[in-house]
Amino acid sequence: MTRRQRLILLIGFTLALNTVVFAQPTLTPPADVPTGRIFTLYGDFKVFELQGDVPPHTMFDLILYSTGNDAIARQRVGKGGRYSFNNIVEGNYVIGVELDNVEITRVAIHIAQRKHEPMRQDMQMAWTPSVGAKRSALSAPDSYTRTPQNRKLFEQALKQINKNELPKAVATLRSVVAADPKDYQSWNELGSIYFIQKDFTAAENSYAKAIEAKPQYTTAYVSLGRVRLAQKKHEDAIAALESAVKTDPQSALTNYFLGEANFAAGKESIGVGYMNEALKLDPVGMANAHLRLANVHHLAGRKDLAAIEYNEFLKKKPEYPDAQRLRDYIIANNPRRKRNTNPSPTPNP
């Protein structure tokens, strides 16, 4: 093991939903590291029960995304389980953590190292009372009332997903929805598998079926927006995500995703508004929005504003692995430095 990062995922913030990945500053491997190599990414997923017990049989979904919004792999683990993503090409990724089909946080991952060996990324989170309270209000996978036969098939499908037996899981879930077309959670699970398989038409149809079965199912609206973004159907993605915000206007992440969709459609000012709303709703949990805003300002040539966003991000996330590079950017583009020909040293963010 040459690299081990321990990330504390404090998830007492508002739970939100699964969709496009956070835009992170692009990282590059060392110059002497070959590109295109294949790695295994693995690690332990631990939950600290410092403020209450995690309910029995609670499972978390870890989903690996590319920076292009493609779902690469998915694995379900318990509170003390180990995940492993195999055959991953080096580069920048994001791991989304979901609880009961609802995304609770994301972690940026950079896969590249000089030694060609498996990379370890342990993840830790604290179980807080607010997490438990939010969970009780969500639609957990086993909260939909199913017949004994469908319940057995649904549980079988989840096991197949965890083993990455996606074709088998598709067949099992299709049996479930054939017997009960109103099982919106099974439709959503089916859409997620199709999305990973890049069968975007089937994914859209599955999410639409979930919404038809339960019109207030915010998760499906966000998932629908995500798959449309992957196809660069920006206006359609905005429509789906606007519906998601209407059903859950207090969701910081849903506002973030709608901002991202507007950026993709070239509607920068609208996107900035939703990003700022996300930060207003959850200043710390949505700190990554500062990175996205910084990137927008940087590409538009507003490097002084980008520096301000990076500085705000580092105030909230001083442990960020690439913090020094952001500090260098801030020093080089600090607006006070541009106004003062003899500036004093810029303090660390």
> What pLDDT is recorded for position 63?
86
Query: How far, in Å, CA of 107 to CA of 64, rounded?
Result: 10
Pairing mode of beta strands 91-99, 102-111: antiparallel
Q: Domain for residue 128, yes or no?
A: yes
- The identity of residue 297, as a single letter, is H
- Among 8-22, 67-81, 82-96, where is mean pLDDT lowest? 8-22
For residues 264 and 300, state if they share a domain.
no
* Lowest mean pLDDT segment, chosen from 5-14, 101-110, 226-235: 5-14
Query: Domain span at residue 43?
Result: 4-281
pLDDT digits 0-9 by tens, 7-57: 333 332 222 222 233 333 333 333 433 457 888 999 998 887 766 677 776
Q: Are residues 65 and 38 in the same domain?
A: yes
Q: Which residues pair with 126 in a beta bridge?
A: 10, 48
Residue 347 lies in a domain: no
Q: Please indicate, yes or no, whether residues 312 and 172 belong to a single structural domain of this protein.
A: no
Q: What is the per-residue pLDDT for 35?
A: 56
Output the pLDDT for position 195: 86
Q: Is residue 345 in a domain? A: no
Question: Domain check: are 17 and 75 in the same one?
Answer: yes
Tell whether pTM > 0.95: no
Distance CA 74, CA 134 (A): 23
If one compares 20 and 291, the residue with the highest pLDDT of the two is 291
Q: How many residues are given for the chain?
A: 349
Handedness of CA 45, 47, 53, 54 (dihedral sign): negative
Q: Which amino acid is at 69?
A: N
Same structural domain, 173 and 292: no
Both 258 and 318 in a single domain?
no
pLDDT at 135 over 60: no
Do residue 250 and residue 325 come from a single domain? no
The CATH number of residue 250's host domain is 1.25.40.10
Say yes or no: 58 and 185 in one domain.
yes
Domain end (from 236, 265, 281): 281
- Sorting pLDDT into bands at 50, 70 and 90, what band is 125? confident
Both tokens assigned to 227: 């798959």
Contact 107, 97 (CB under 8 A): yes
> Mean pLDDT over residues 87-114, rounded?
78
Contact 90, 35 (CB under 8 A): yes
Q: Is 45 within 8 Å of 81 (Cβ atoms)?
A: yes
Residues 144-162 have a mean pLDDT of 91
**Percentage of the chain surpassing pLDDT 70?**
76
Residues 88 and 141 in one domain: yes
In one letter, which amino acid is 328? Answer: D
> Highest-confidence range of 45-49, 99-103, 269-273, by mean pLDDT?
269-273
Say how far apart CA 51 and CA 16 lie, in whole Å.
Answer: 21
Place 297 in a pLDDT band, splitting at 50, 70 and 90: very high
Q: Do 79 and 192 fall within a single domain? A: yes
Q: Evaluate whether 333 touches 306 at the Cβ level (below 8 Å).
A: yes
Total domain count, the chain = 2
